[in-house]
Amino acid sequence: MKSKWNNNLKGYVRVEIIGQDSSSFINACMESGIQIWDIQPLSNDRILVSVSIADIRKAKRILKEKKLKIRIKEKIGTPFLLMRMWKRNGFILGMISFIFLLFLLSNMIWNINVTGANPKTEYELRKAAVELGITKGKFIFLLPNVREIQRELTEKMKNVTWIGVTQHGTQYRFEVVEKEIPKAKPISGPRHLVATKEAVIHSLFVEKGQPVITINDYVQKGSLLVSGYIGKEKKPELVSAKGKILGEVWYQTQVEVPLNTSFQTYTGKCKNRHYVTLFGMNLPIFGFSDGEFQDKTETLNETPLYLAKWKMPISYLKKEIRETDGIKRSYTKTEAIEVGKEMAKKELLKKLPEDAKIKGEKVWQQNVSNGKVKLTMLYQVIENIASEQPIPIQQGE
């Protein structure tokens, strides 16, 4: 006899067999391989039996041959339950639609908060976030993970020290730490102009004050360039010295250039695979091929899914596969020296003021060791070396 669980799954009917020879129906079913169970005699010409849906047609043929009548008393099992539910399909479809809509709304961005930023920085941050696709109404599982967003925004925002990105349900929160640029305190009262570094005077333009140096003079850091004392020696007048003193300053920069280098670059070709992660198992839903890439890198971006405020045991996983190309680069000694010069110049320009100009350059030292060319460069730079220094006021002056 079939198990009760299997019977309920496939479905069966309780039928009443009516006729003078109803007992012969049982024997005929056993001979034909039709399984019946829960046989219950009701009277001399009536019995109650259970028959599976799969065997009901065969049973009807036997009943027709035996000239017996059948009356279905009860329909039991999953198929009949689904049929009854389908009759109420409006309610079921409404329930499914409600859950699906709630699921979608629970995985969309509904709020973006920015803390720790002034209005200008907040505007720039929100604009940069929009470029990354972080806008209200966007599906969260289609966005990069918070680490990637944090890295991208920090690179875009030059006026911040740090940006913290957190996601709480349907809300993104950005915590900003702005760079604190100290404001130069205005110097009031009389002042001198002194040298900020060791240099040879190249040119000078003095608006106020008494210059104490001339062109081609050598000065050290802190040397007086323009005095705030003017007029007679016995009764000098104090002024705020003002002017532009250009000095010739020497800088030294060291760089190393390997003669042989191996590195990887992206070819621009990529493939994306999409998964649904359920209880730790990755089930592919789109993009089943990894691509025929000999050299590649893979990046995983997993986004948990929510139903209202509850985190579900299901998440969306995107795997990005990018083709790489291994490149070997070799330089001759002459080529390495030229590359080193460019590198050293770029490093120097990062340190110089915007109005500074490189007048000349010279390879001071060069040698090849351990497969590298090592350069020491000297640069001749023209820049403003004047800095204001307050003059202490004594009583009676």
Q: Please tell me the predicted confidence (pLDDT) of residue 95.
A: 83
When divided into structural domains, the chain yields a total of: 5
Cα(272)–Cα(140) distance, rounded to whole angstroms?
Answer: 17
Q: Please tell me the predicted confidence (pLDDT) of residue 144.
A: 83
**220 found inside a domain:** yes
Q: Please tell me the predicted confidence (pLDDT) of residue 311.
A: 78
In a shared domain, residues 130 and 156: yes
Burial tier of 148 (Cβ tally within 10 Å: 0-12, 13-18, 19+): middle
Q: Output the CA–CA distances (angstroms, integers) from residue 230 to 210, 217, 222, 241, in the order listed.
A: 6, 21, 20, 10
Question: Has this prediction a pTM greater than 0.75?
Answer: no
| Residue of 187, 247, 239, 241 whose CA lies nearest to 221 | 247
In a shared domain, residues 321 and 342: no
Q: Please tell me the predicted confidence (pLDDT) of residue 186.
A: 61
Domain final residue, candidates 82, 102, 127: 82
pLDDT confidence bin for 289, thresholds 50/70/90: low
Can you tell me the mean pLDDT for 89-114? 84
Compute the mean pLDDT over every residue in the chain, rounded to the nearest whole number.
84
Q: Please tell me the predicted confidence (pLDDT) of residue 254.
A: 92
**101 found inside a domain:** no
**102 found inside a domain:** no
pLDDT digit string (tens) for 372-390? 999 999 999 999 999 999 9
**395 found inside a domain:** no
Does 44 or 382 have the greater pLDDT score?
A: 382
User: CA torsion angle for 332, 334, 336, 337 (degrees, to 10)?
Assistant: 160
Percent of the chain with pLDDT over 70: 94
Domain final residue, candidates 66, 82, 98: 82
Given a cut of 90, whether residue 33 has pLDDT beyond it is: no
Instruction: Name the residue type at position 212.
Output: V
Question: What CATH number does the domain containing 127 carry?
Answer: 3.10.20.310
**139 found inside a domain:** yes
pLDDT confidence bin for 183, thresholds 50/70/90: low
In a shared domain, residues 168 and 219: no
Domain final residue, candidates 150, 178, 206: 178
Cα(239)–Cα(192) distance, rounded to whole angstroms?
Answer: 9
**197 found inside a domain:** yes
Given a cut of 50, whether residue 1 has pLDDT beyond it is: no
In a shared domain, residues 243 and 280: no
User: Which strand ranges, in their side-by-side order, compose the sheet holding 357-369?
Assistant: 218-219, 199-208, 242-258, 372-384, 357-369
**97 found inside a domain:** no
In a shared domain, residues 236 and 304: no
Given a cut of 70, whether residue 249 has pLDDT beyond it is: yes
Tokens of 181: 């640029």
In a shared domain, residues 318 and 338: no
**298 found inside a domain:** yes
In a shared domain, residues 121 and 167: yes
Does 151 or 181 have the greater pLDDT score?
A: 151
Can you tell me the mean pLDDT for 333-350? 90
Q: Please tell me the predicted confidence (pLDDT) of residue 215.
A: 94
Question: What CATH number does the domain containing 16 carry?
Answer: 3.30.70.260
Can you tell me the mean pLDDT for 255-275? 83
Q: Please tell me the predicted confidence (pLDDT) of residue 198.
A: 94
Q: Please tell me the predicted confidence (pLDDT) of residue 395.
A: 46
Given a cut of 80, whether residue 234 has pLDDT beyond it is: no
Would you say 171 and 115 are in contact if contact means Cβ atoms under 8 Å apart?
no
Would you say 172 and 372 are in contact if contact means Cβ atoms under 8 Å apart?
no
Cα(301)–Cα(321) distance, rounded to whole angstroms?
Answer: 12
- 199 phi, psi to nearest 5 deg: -165, 170
Q: Please tell me the predicted confidence (pLDDT) of residue 329.
A: 85
pLDDT digit string (tens) for 205-227? 999 989 999 999 999 999 999 99
Tell me which residue range forms the domain holding 225: 191-247+386-390
pLDDT digit string (tens) for 346-363? 999 988 988 899 999 999
In a shared domain, residues 130 and 158: yes
pLDDT digit string (tens) for 104-118? 888 888 899 998 888
In a shared domain, residues 77 and 61: yes
In a shared domain, residues 173 and 223: no
Max mean pLDDT range (64-73, 141-150, 272-281, 335-344): 335-344
Given a cut of 60, whether residue 232 has pLDDT beyond it is: yes
pLDDT confidence bin for 396, thresholds 50/70/90: very low
